[in-house]
Amino acid sequence: MAEQQAEKTSIQVIERMMSLLDVLADLPDPVSLKVLAKNSGLHPSTAHRILAAMSSAALVKRHENGSFTLGVRLLELGNLVKSRINIRQLALPYMQQLHEAIGEAVNLGIRHEDEIIYVERTSSGRSLLRVVYLVGGRAPLHLTSVGKLFLAADNAADVRAYAHRTGLPGKTPHSLTRLDALEKELDRIRRHEVAFDNEEAEIGLRCIAAPVRDEENRLVAGLSVSAPSDRHNPDWAKPIKAAAEGIARALGHQQAPRRS
């Protein structure tokens, strides 16, 4: 009985500690004990006792005027968690759900210099694998929907530099091999946060991609669905974006409020 009571007390302390951390996270400026107690629903003496222990562990910082802010230990722990995140493992459940909903191949790609590298894939099992979309496959940025996402995240000077370095080689009659055409396409991607590959890397293959951003709003990957042109559906953009946003949230990204 005593053991159960001790466990219950420990859980209550953890819950109260988390409520204090939530208040500190919501308020950017140093917070007084009075405000912390009121916003967390704790008695001031209880809040003070827990804050003292948290301060000793550097989970919060107590300032000279008695106010509190989040502590540096949280930053250390956060960076440790961040360093251990494997985006492939994190993204795979979302990719599998998207694959089940759409029934086509789902790809996860990252940028390496002037190319996209595909790091994970769920196969549709309904058509022959395209080499460019195999795990470990590479493709020029401007020829794929995922690659265009990364170019759209660049500024105009960087896009021009990419075009100069690569010469914008094409693989099909649909490839974007002129800078003005590429820039027009990138503008559309920036507006809609979705990119398309309309048989630009391979005849008969079309693709839709959405961006995956991390907690610092950096573009770290692109999530795409590839399918033969006769099965392609532009309405897939919505579930692809939703899956990409789910992966982003798991990475710590906070969606910006939508403008009305």
Q: Where are the domains of the chain?
A: 2-81, 85-250
User: Does position 129 have pLDDT exceeding 50, yes or no?
Assistant: no
CB 43 within 8 A of CB 34: no
Q: What is the CATH number of domain 85-250?
A: 3.30.450.40
Model-level pTM?
0.66
Q: What mean pLDDT, rounded, does the chain reach?
A: 86
Which residues have a Cβ under 8 Å from the Cβ of 52 and sit 6 or more positions away?
Answer: none
Averaged pLDDT for residues 25-46: 92
Q: Is 154 helix (H, G, I), strand (E, B) or coil?
A: coil
Q: Does domain 2-81 have CATH number 2.20.25.10?
A: no
